[in-house]
Structure 1
């Protein structure tokens, strides 16, 4: 029996050695196989990658060519266009300023016109206010003379009012002209009558028929006079 077991063991050892020799031979065959025998899938993948890279290169070149053509076709910007736009903007700004200035001037003109009309309307108000006391004195004098019948007192009252009235007018710059005995001056006098006179030189004012007045430095009414001729 011992011999049988030994024989079986030897047989197993031989089988294992044969198996190891076969695996080693297969490994050597794999190492010695040329690159041309590479798997078909790997070769196809590499071919597709190469084609893809070529397509991308062609597309990039085509894009660059198209961009260059568009750049050549686009017209260059004219610097004068920017200057024209700037001038148009300035012109519009000046136009708006002019419109505002015109509106302000129109408002000023209307306001001054209203003020002028108001001044003309009430220009005499101050003078009339100062004349009212003279009117009051006239009314008092007339009322007193009617009750008493004293005409001498009435004459004195009227004379007093006359002096008051002249004083008020002089305060406003009004001056009566002195004419009798003065040489005739057509700028101040109006000759309504000429008479022969041996006592006076020709052109001398003999009589004042209506008094003339000067307001400040302007003749507002010439004196009506009788002149020797």
Structure 2
């Protein structure tokens, strides 16, 4: 009997060994994980797009700021360069009056010394304006240029070529490279 028992145990052991089911490793996919990954992927894409938009906006703002800084720098330089323009515009009529006074013929000595005084003041004023960068625009004998000349009369003169300034009626002035008053001229047809 004992032998039967042993055999029976052996058979049971073998059956148990055979009955042991090898369970394959099956990965159970949790649906919440895939939905979460999809959600996080779309969030990541959205955040990346938002980041790119912000970087583009930042680049535009930096460019705008650089342009603003350059423009204000140019404006400051122009202000410094032409700071005396208003004063020069106010002084030009006085300079014209000095020139007219100097064209008067004088006969006696007292008037001559007065004219010499006017000449001296005129020279000082002209020198001061020249130091500020004011220069007279050449006119007579020059080709007419509408940028620097203002034609108020046209004449026919055989001594001059066509479109040449025949006479200057009022001097024109330039402050550095800017015309502050064009020359009033007669132009040959």
Q: TM-score, normalised by structure 2?
A: 0.51
Over aligned residue pairs, what C-alpha RMSD do you find? 4.6
Counterpart for residue 62 of structure 2: 108
Counterpart for residue 156 of structure 1: 120
Shift of 1:224: 2.8
Q: TM-score, normalised by structure 1?
A: 0.44
Q: CA offsets per residue over residues 16-55 of structure 1, 9 Å max, x none?
A: xxxxxxxxxxxxxxxxxxxxxxxx4x34541441232132
Larger Rg: 1
Listed as ranges, the gaps of 5+ residues in structure 2 are 28-40, 92-113
Counterpart for residue 126 of structure 1: 80
Counterpart for residue 46 of structure 1: 6
- Note the 1:56-135 alignment, pairs <5 A: 56-60=16-20, 63-64=21-22, 67=24, 98-99=52-53, 101-127=55-81, 131=84
Q: Is the Cα contact below 8 Å between 1:213 and 1:223 reproduced in 2?
A: no
Q: Is the Cα contact below 8 Å between 1:213 and 1:219 reproduced in 2?
A: yes
Q: CA offsets per residue over residues 123-158 of structure 1, 9 Å max, x none?
A: 3342366x49x89xx9xxxxxxxxxxx997576345
Q: Is the Cα contact below 8 Å between 1:176 and 1:214 reproduced in 2?
A: no
- Structure scoring higher RCO (CA < 8 A, sep ≥ 6) equals 2
Greater than 4 Å deviation, 4+ residue runs:
91-101, 150-155, 185-188, 198-202, 218-222
| C-alpha spacing 1:128/1:192, structure 2 compared with 1 (3 Å) | closer
Find the aligned partners of 1:156 and 1:120 in 2 and give their Cα distance: 38
Count of equivalent residues: 148
